[in-house]
């Protein structure tokens, strides 16, 4: 299938990413009682209603992630993909984790300090798999993302092609749909039925972007849009409590999901290709560190100053401070340390390749067992283990 476009950076996708992050920020700052000590509906009587649906920013993240990760694995080996993800995720994560730990330990007002054992385990980003508490509650999404990366790595072993991505969409959809009935922990853990529709739709949108749209891809997207509606009540209850399911209307959540699908679809079809504002790229770069640091640190600041500064001014000030801190993490930690980590890991992978790829013996002109003297000595054949590492 002819390719329409390659993986150029999409500024509008970066802008949508920042919008999703701000949705989550304002949900935590305006819709939750924890930093204020009582229900914020009396503090923000109008904004509170909209902020209650800000948790959907996470779903928008997952939709964008399906698009972006499918773009990043195309034409890469598993090793190259691993290097790109580790160097992208861990520097800002470690900085945010340590900064959050210090702030909460010094001012344990809105969040309880974590033990050092918990902090050390969190440094691996794998705490979600061994029931270790997150130092900051927002880290739960990182483990979801890691599972998605593992799924994409499996696809890479078979080859990232249009056909294999379609097979992934079909198999994953079936697994996510059947997981609640099968009740198999392993299938449920990796099928992620609550979030799979967003990842899968993102993959389909990227296939549209790369190969043009068609009826099959639109059928996948529409199916995922319908499946995404299934867990709105579950997500409302998870974020705002069981009472919210009966008290809050679900149509705003459904509308936000539809708008998110429509925007990513428009990006995939090239509707915003002419928008290349540089500030959008910077905004996209701030999104990840902002997400990592905004909750416990921001809530601590709000809790500390809530009786001294008017609430709207306080929320705006804390948000601006979090954005500034995110920019500092991006410039002083993420970029330089990410570059160093990327270079170091590439050298390590090159070293692995040199050690596991067997040296070839000099070719023999002929062997008694091969007609016309065109055979290859047994030692010239590459072992299955070497072929496996050659894909790294």
Helix (H) or strand (E) holding 105: helix 78-106
Listing DSSP states for 46-61 in one string gives THHHHHTTTTHHHHHH
Q: What is the pLDDT of residue 233?
A: 93
Under the banding of pLDDT at 50, 70 and 90, the label for residue 369 is very low
Closest CA to 125 of 143, 138, 137: 143
Q: How many CB atoms lie within 10 A of CB 325?
A: 20
pLDDT tens string 189-247: 999 999 999 999 999 999 999 999 999 999 999 999 999 999 999 999 999 988 888 89
Distance CA 143, CA 121 (A): 13
In a 3-state reduction of DSSP, which class is residue 366? coil
Taking the whole predicted model, whether its pTM rises above 0.75 is answered as: yes
Measured in whole angstroms, how far is the alpha carbon of residue 347 from the centre of its chain? 26
Q: What pLDDT does residue 354 have?
A: 82
The token duo for 134 is 């997150």
């Amino acid at each position: 299938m002819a390719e329409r476009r390659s993986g150029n950076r999409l500024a509008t996708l970066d802008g949508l990413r920042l919008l999703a992050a701000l949705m989550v920020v304002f949900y935590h700052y305006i819709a939750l009682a924890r930093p204020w000590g009582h229900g914020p509906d009396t503090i923000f009587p109008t904004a509170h209603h909209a902020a209650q649906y800000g948790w959907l920013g996470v779903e928008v993240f997952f939709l964008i992630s399906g698009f972006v990760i499918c773009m990043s694995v195309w034409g890469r080996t598993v090793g190259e993909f691993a290097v790109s993800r580790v160097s992208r995720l861990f520097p800002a994560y470690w900085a945010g984790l340590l900064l959050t730990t210090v702030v909460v330990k010094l001012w344990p007002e809105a969040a309880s300090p974590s033990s050092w054992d918990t902090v050390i385990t969190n440094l691996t980003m794998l705490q979600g798999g061994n029931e270790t508490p997150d130092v900051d509650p927002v880290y739960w999404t990182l483990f979801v993302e890691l599972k998605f990366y593992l799924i994409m790595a499996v696809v890479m072993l078979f080859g990232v092609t249009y056909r294999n991505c379609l097979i992934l969409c079909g198999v994953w959809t079936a697994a996510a749909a059947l997981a609640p009935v099968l009740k198999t922990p392993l299938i449920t853990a990796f099928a992620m039925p609550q979030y799979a529709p967003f990842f899968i739709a993102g993959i389909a949108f990227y296939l549209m972007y790369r190969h043009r749209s068609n009826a099959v891809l639109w059928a996948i997207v529409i199916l995922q849009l319908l499946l995404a509606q299934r867990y709105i009540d579950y997500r409302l209850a998870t974020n705002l409590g069981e009472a919210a399911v009966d008290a809050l209307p679900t149509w705003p959540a459904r509308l936000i999901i539809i708008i998110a699908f429509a925007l990513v679809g428009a990006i995939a079809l090239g509707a915003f290709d002419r928008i290349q504002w540089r500030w959008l790229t910077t905004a996209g770069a701030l999104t990840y560190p902002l997400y990592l640091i905004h909750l416990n640190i921001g809530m601590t600041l709000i809790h500390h100053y809530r009786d001294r500064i008017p609430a709207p001014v306080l929320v705006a000030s804390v948000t601006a401070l979090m954005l500034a801190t995110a920019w500092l993490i991006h410039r002083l930690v993420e970029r330089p340390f990410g570059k160093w980590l990327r270079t170091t890991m590439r050298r390590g992978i090159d070293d692995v390749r040199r050690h596991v790829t067997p040296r070839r013996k000099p070719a023999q002109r002929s062997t008694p067992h091969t007609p016309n003297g065109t055979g290859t000595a047994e030692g010239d054949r590459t072992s299955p283990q070497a072929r496996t590492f050659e894909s790294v």
